[in-house]
Amino acid sequence: MITLNGETLRIRDVVHIARSAPGEVEVRLSDEAKTKVQRSRTAVEQLIAEERVAYGITTGFGAFKDRFISRDQLDELQRNLVLSHAVGVGSPFAPDETRAIILIRANQLAKGFSGIRVEVLEFLLELLARGVYPVIPQQGSLGSSGDLAPLAHLALVCIGGGEAIVEGERMGGGEALARVGLTPVVLKAKEGLALLNGTAVMTAVGCLATHDAEVTTHAADIAGALSLEAMEGTGEAYDERLHLARPHPRLIEGAHYMRHLLEGSEFLRKRDPFRVQDAYSLRCLPQIHGSVREAIEYAKWLLSIELNSATDNPLIFVSDETGEIDVISGGNFHGEPVALAMDYLTIALVELANVSERRTNRLVDAKENEGILPPFLTEGGGLHSGFMIVHYTAASLVSENKVLAHPASADTVPTSANIEDHQSLGTIAARQAREVLNNSATVVGIEIFAAAQGIDFRRRRAGRELQLGVGTIPVYALIREHIPFIEKDEWMQPHVLKAKELVLSGAITRAAEAAVWRHGHSSDGERLPLSEE
């Protein structure tokens, strides 16, 4: 069970709930959160009774901030807000992203500064429990004032409009609610604004992408280790002394991990005065992958804060001592923190795929690997193309990544009669990070696929079962459990997709890390850089 209080939700909780079946994990509001939410709601009702001017509660929105709304029109104001703002376009978010959006918005509102009723928050949690997936189009958010358009599509289903998916069937929002025994909500003052005005969409997409990026980066370490073995590389570049001389924490962790993955490997070459060092894509792996990890750690840190932040406007503060109500307008909805973190993550993932593709290129190019492996990893070159076009796919994806790497946060556009004159475009940044992540996971999967082929050729040429490293033994076995050695040309796409699946599912990482920990996990007692997610 996960209890929401607006303070302690973690990325791992988001991933777990987003990727669980409806009702599999119970999610509820804490009693403390209910108390805070109710106090905020009582404050809204007092403001209305006193006919105080309060933005979005008794006034219009955006450029209409100076239009006072009469008491008998306040419910209509909130309904109109939802209807007019639900103008997203494009394909809808995936089910796991939709579940994450609902969860995060509920948790952000549970902080108790938004003036929404407890029953509306509990309604959001019922959507999760009963498997109602509002159809939320991916395009249309400027990232300030939060994710207005996509969150309006979530709110639209809550009031019985829009569209939703239940048990795989797409239908009207009202029909979807009726199908699972829910009655549409009638929004009261401030509630439509509270649902729409926040960063839940960019944060949800960012959390899932960041989790998957961490898993993929660990898999890239393992792919690099297998490639090093397949090409008879040296492990000297991972010497602890070398990395302590440049003590960036993630670089040290990465080298430490590589040493343990490769421990006991017979595939690595002994010291050779004519082959002193390997190409950068192998030799500099801790420096490159470690830098990617830094970007991931930053994203995790930032998103962990954003998950538990009140991100709508205005916020309502009630003094514990005097009971005085302050309605403060500000900019907590502005997605700039998330936008910059997601752009940083995107650029890091571009680099992760770039260096992985370079290692794959060395695996398939006999000149680059000094003839250790046959051209394109096939004995029948000419008649068979082997891994030639598999590498093309990796090359295509890294090129596409570079197109997607333009920072979304570098752009802006004024809206709402220039009142909202700077936008974060944080949701675009998060979506780009997710796209680059998916491309990069495929590239890493291709490298693992090719490296396993190279391992088989090394063993054939040695005439015996050369021993792999402690951490690469189970990964090679896992690959061969799902993907065969390619003796002659066959349909390669299913193997590429399976390799990507093994990367993103975490199966590659779990196989390696379990073996390393069983082996004693470290000769020096240090903890390996395992994903806490």
Is residue 63 predicted with pLDDT exceeding 80? no
357: CB partners within 8 A, 6+ apart: 391, 394, 395, 397, 398, 443, 447
Same domain, 261 and 297: yes
Same domain, 114 and 216: no
What is the tens place of the pLDDT at every residue in 347-368?
Answer: 999 999 999 999 999 999 999 9
Q: Residue 388: inside a domain, yes or no? A: yes
Same domain, 189 and 262: no
**How far is the C-alpha of 119 from the C-alpha of 482, rounded, in Å?**
48
Collapsing DSSP states into helix, strand and coil, what is residue 415? strand
Under 8 Å between Cβ of 508 and 475: yes
Q: Please state the domain count of the chain.
A: 2
**pLDDT in the model for residue 532:** 42
DSSP assignment of 509-531 equals HHHHHHHHHHTTS-SS-PPP---
Same domain, 223 and 162: no
What is the tens place of the pLDDT at every residue in 182-221?
Answer: 999 999 999 999 999 999 999 999 999 999 999 999 999 9
What is the tens place of the pLDDT at every residue in 430-450?
Answer: 999 999 999 999 999 999 999
What is the tens place of the pLDDT at every residue in 124-180?
Answer: 999 999 999 999 999 999 998 889 999 999 999 999 999 999 999 999 999 999 999
**pLDDT in the model for residue 522:** 44
* Residues of the domain holding 473: 207-411+424-518
Same domain, 460 and 355: yes
Under 8 Å between Cβ of 437 and 351: no
Same domain, 388 and 463: yes
Under 8 Å between Cβ of 348 and 296: yes
Last residue of a domain, one of 150, 166, 198: 198
**How far is the C-alpha of 353 from the C-alpha of 439, rounded, in Å?**
8
Backbone angles phi, psi at 401, to 5 degrees: -55, -40
Same domain, 404 and 372: yes
Report the pLDDT averaged over residues 86-92: 97
Same domain, 260 and 364: yes
Q: Residue 523: inside a domain, yes or no? A: no
531 pLDDT tier (thresholds 50, 70, 90): very low
Q: Residue 442: inside a domain, yes or no? A: yes
520: CB partners within 8 A, 6+ apart: none
CA 71 centroid distance within chain: 43
What distances in angstroms separate CA 298 from CA 224, 333, 344, 432, 533, one per listed residue? 24, 20, 9, 17, 14
User: Which residue reads 């994806």 in tokens?
Assistant: 397
CATH assignment of the domain containing 385: 1.20.200.10
Q: Residue 533: inside a domain, yes or no? A: no
**pLDDT in the model for residue 521:** 53
Under 8 Å between Cβ of 100 and 208: yes
Largest CA distance in the chain: 88
Same domain, 346 and 240: yes
Query: What residues are annotated to the active site?
Result: 55
Q: Residue 530: inside a domain, yes or no? A: no
Q: Residue 468: inside a domain, yes or no? A: yes
Is residue 89 predicted with pLDDT exceeding 70? yes
Closest to 94 (Cα-Cα) out of 180, 11, 17, 205: 205
**How far is the C-alpha of 13 from the C-alpha of 134, rounded, in Å?**
21
68 or 103, higher pLDDT: 103
**How far is the C-alpha of 221 from the C-alpha of 255, rounded, in Å?**
9
Closest to 456 (Cα-Cα) out of 420, 492, 480, 434: 480
Q: Residue 531: inside a domain, yes or no? A: no
Is residue 530 predicted with pLDDT exceeding 70? no
Radius of gyration, alpha carbons of the chain: 26
Is residue 75 predicted with pLDDT exceeding 80? yes
62: CB partners within 8 A, 6+ apart: 145, 416, 417, 419, 420
Count of other CB atoms within 10 angstroms of residue 380: 13
What is the tens place of the pLDDT at every residue in 100-140?
Answer: 999 999 999 999 999 999 999 999 999 999 999 999 999 99
423 pLDDT tier (thresholds 50, 70, 90): confident
Count of other CB atoms within 10 angstroms of residue 130: 16
417 pLDDT tier (thresholds 50, 70, 90): confident
Same domain, 371 and 436: yes
Last residue of a domain, one of 198, 228, 257: 198
What is the tens place of the pLDDT at every residue in 27-43?
Answer: 999 999 999 999 999 99
Under 8 Å between Cβ of 241 and 288: no
Same domain, 126 and 233: no
**pLDDT in the model for residue 65:** 74
**pLDDT in the model for residue 51:** 83
Q: Residue 504: inside a domain, yes or no? A: yes
What is the residue-averaged pLDDT of the chain?
A: 94
User: Which residue reads 């949701």 in tokens?
Assistant: 427
Last residue of a domain, one of 198, 223, 238: 198
What is the tens place of the pLDDT at every residue in 371-403?
Answer: 999 999 999 899 999 999 999 999 999 999 999
What is the tens place of the pLDDT at every residue in 238-263?
Answer: 999 999 999 999 999 999 999 999 99
Same domain, 75 and 93: yes
**How far is the C-alpha of 65 from the C-alpha of 435, rounded, in Å?**
37
Q: What is the pTM of this model?
A: 0.95
CATH assignment of the domain containing 138: 1.10.275.10
Report the pLDDT averaged over residues 45-58: 87
